[in-house]
């Protein structure tokens, strides 16, 4: 069961002017399941993306990077679930060209104006024959308010659709931001996560949009981990259609407000991935404070967030907190003075001076461990940097889900 997961009322999901979405079923994994999603952007829309750093990056990721690099006017996205088109070599690349060309033809745009995305099993050929007939169907269903259905149609092992939406007033006009994401396992994004799509009807210049997309990814999707496995297909896209007529100048107050709202939506979408992570029963925030550098803070945060021993202790609600100390100790910060740091679980000071806080009582740790949302804080007293990573516990269901994934 997802942890404190909020599925918004469909009335609170605001369509974005200049964005249409169409959905169809190609029967890639299961007959009848919606598995093809098409985004159609109005001409003039700016699109920016960040992608996985995995060297075995999927064919569609390679094509996205190329097409965004030459600053084509991207006007459509083609997303399939059920097959990742990764580890598929040259044939996979050709297959992604073929399917995105089919969408371009259906929309009467140039091939290079389509970005393709795939998610699902790796190392299996893309079922092009199934996908091609579904594309005109998806196009025939293009409509303004299909965000909720799109969040559904991009799910794989996700148990709930992930969607967030917000409206704000800028210069007396309404600007909308809406986004969807998916992912529950193979989650340790290292640019962005598989898959996040956001759109706003504010106008944002191409270069600025690319810059803030990267920055926003680093505050949201690049700060979550389920299992430390960086996917071959991670992709995060922001599209700015400009159809609200609002075009705030960079460095204006309105731009800052827009930036903060975009960041909020991205964080919400990223955190929703953790709340619905495979087998998760707890939502865990790991916050490292007073670090010398962002790098050392993240080393320690991820050592804690990836430790199977820490994660199974959370699953058991067992305050076996020495495991967190062990993870801090092996994180690779070679000059760390362990007598100078403090470990807090929620508000409870667990360890200081290199050992257990004499005032700490097991019942205090147990009370925090019993919660579904847990904050782990490590105060290093080495500098002024804070970094926060979001993760979940490690349960029997994680093993079951991933042992049975293909069956």
Residues 183-212 within binding reach of its own copies (CB under 8 A): 185-186, 188, 190
Handedness of CA 217, 221, 227, 233 (dihedral sign): negative
Give the containing element (helix H, strand E) for 110. Answer: none
Rounded CA separation 378/300 (Å): 9
91 part of the interface to its own copies, by CB under 8 A = yes
355 part of the interface to its own copies, by CB under 8 A = yes
Instruction: Tell me whether residue 21 or residue 186 sits nearer to its own copies (CB atom).
Output: 186
* Residue 52 known to be catalytic: no
- Is 193 labelled as part of a ligand binding site? yes
Residues 129-188 that bind its own copies (CB under 8 A): 185-186, 188
Residues 5-64 that bind its own copies (CB under 8 A): 52-57
Provide Rg for the chain, Cα atoms.
22
Please pick, from the candidates 353, 361, 370, 381, the single residue that binds its own copies as defined by CB under 8 A. 353
What minimum distance in Å lies between the beta carbon of 214 and its own copies?
18
Instruction: Tell me whether residue 113 or residue 232 sits nearer to its own copies (CB atom).
Output: 232
Rounded CA separation 71/387 (Å): 33
Which residues are within 8 A (CB) of 337 and not within 5 positions of it... i.e. 6 or more apart? Answer: none
What minimum distance in Å lies between the beta carbon of 365 and its own copies?
10
Instruction: Tell me whether residue 201 or residue 278 sits nearer to its own copies (CB atom).
Output: 278
Q: Which two tokens stand for residue 136?
A: 């005109």
What minimum distance in Å lies between the beta carbon of 392 and its own copies?
12
Q: Which residues pair with 388 in a beta bridge?
A: 287
Which residues are within 8 A (CB) of 105 and not within 5 positions of it... i.e. 6 or more apart? Answer: none
SS3 of residue 383 by DSSP: coil
Q: Which two tokens stand for residue 401?
A: 């889900």
363 part of the interface to its own copies, by CB under 8 A = no
Look at residues 139, 161, 164, 143 and name the one whose alpha carbon lies nearest to residue 152: 161
Please pick, from the candidates 121, 160, 206, 367, the single residue that binds its own copies as defined by CB under 8 A. 121
Task: Fill in the per-residue mask, 226 to 255: x = in contact with its own copies (CB under 8 A), - = not in contact.
Answer: -xxxxxx-----------------------
Please pick, from the candidates 79, 246, 336, 378, the single residue that binds its own copies as defined by CB under 8 A. 336
What minimum distance in Å lies between the beta carbon of 126 and its own copies?
11
Please pick, from the candidates 325, 348, 374, 379, the single residue that binds its own copies as defined by CB under 8 A. 325
Give the containing element (helix H, strand E) for 262. Answer: helix 253-275
Sole residue written with tokens 């050709």: 94
Instruction: Tell me whether residue 251 or residue 335 sits nearer to its own copies (CB atom).
Output: 335
292 neighbors 383 (Cβ within 8 angstroms): yes
Among candidate residues 193, 213, 225, 241, the one labeled active-site is: 193
- Please state, as a whole number, how many other Cβ atoms lie within 10 Å of the Cβ of residue 400: 12
Instruction: Tell me whether residue 237 or residue 350 sits nearer to its own copies (CB atom).
Output: 350
- Is 402 labelled as part of a ligand binding site? yes
Look at residues 290, 376, 291, 380 and name the one whose alpha carbon lies nearest to residue 342: 380
What minimum distance in Å lies between the beta carbon of 344 and its own copies?
14
DSSP state letters, 150-191: HHHHT-SS-SS-EEEEEEEEETTEEEEEEEEE--SSS---SS
Instruction: Tell me whether residue 123 or residue 260 sits nearer to its own copies (CB atom).
Output: 123
What minimum distance in Å lies between the beta carbon of 296 and its own copies?
12
What are the catalytic residues? 193
Annotated binding site: 156, 182, 193, 278, 402, 407
Annotated binding site for substrate: 156, 182, 193, 278, 402, 407
């Amino acid at each position: 069961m997802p942890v404190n997961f909020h599925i918004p009322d469909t009335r609170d999901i605001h369509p974005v002017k200049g964005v249409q979405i169409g959905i169809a079923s190609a029967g890639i994994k299961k007959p009848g399941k919606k598995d093809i999603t098409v985004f159609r952007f109005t001409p003039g829309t700016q699109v920016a993306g960040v992608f996985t750093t995995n060297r075995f990056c999927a064919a569609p990721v390679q094509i996205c990077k190329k097409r965004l690099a030459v600053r084509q006017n991207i006007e459509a996205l083609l997303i399939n679930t059920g097959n990742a088109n990764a580890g598929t070599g040259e044939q996979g690349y050709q297959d992604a060209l073929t399917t995105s060309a089919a969408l371009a033809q259906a929309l009467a745009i140039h091939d290079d104006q389509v970005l393709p995305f795939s998610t699902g099993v790796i190392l299996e050929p893309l079922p092009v024959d199934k996908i091609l007939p579904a594309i005109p169907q998806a196009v025939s269903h293009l409509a303004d308010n299909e965000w909720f259905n799109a969040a559904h149609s991009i799910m794989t092992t996700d148990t709930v659709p992930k969607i967030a939406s917000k409206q704000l007033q800028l210069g007396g006009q309404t600007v909308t931001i809406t986004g969807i994401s998916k992912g529950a396992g193979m989650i340790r994004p290292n640019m962005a996560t598989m898959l996040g799509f956001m759109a706003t009807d504010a106008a944002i210049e191409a270069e600025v949009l690319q810059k803030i997309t990267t920055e926003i990814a680093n505050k949201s999707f690049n700060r979550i981990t389920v299992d430390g496995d960086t996917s071959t297909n991670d992709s995060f896209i922001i599209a700015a259609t400009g159809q609200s007529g609002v075009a705030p100048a960079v460095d204006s107050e309105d731009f800052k407000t827009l930036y903060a709202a975009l960041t909020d939506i991205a964080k919400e979408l990223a955190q929703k991935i953790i709340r619905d992570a495979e087998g998760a029963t707890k939502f865990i925030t790991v916050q490292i404070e007073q670090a010398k550098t962002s790098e050392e803070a993240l080393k320690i945060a991820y050592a804690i967030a990836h430790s199977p021993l820490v994660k199974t202790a959370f699953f058991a609600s067992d305050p076996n907190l020495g495991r967190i100390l062990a993870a801090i100790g092996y994180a690779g910060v070679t000059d760390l003075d362990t007598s100078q740091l403090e470990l807090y679980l929620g508000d409870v000071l667990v360890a200081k001076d290199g050992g257990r806080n004499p005032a700490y009582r097991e019942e205090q740790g147990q009370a925090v461990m019993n919660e579904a949302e847990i904050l782990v804080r490590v105060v290093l007293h080495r500098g002024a940097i804070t970094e926060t990573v979001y993760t979940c516990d490690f349960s029997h269901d994680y093993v079951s889900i991933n042992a049975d994934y293909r069956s």
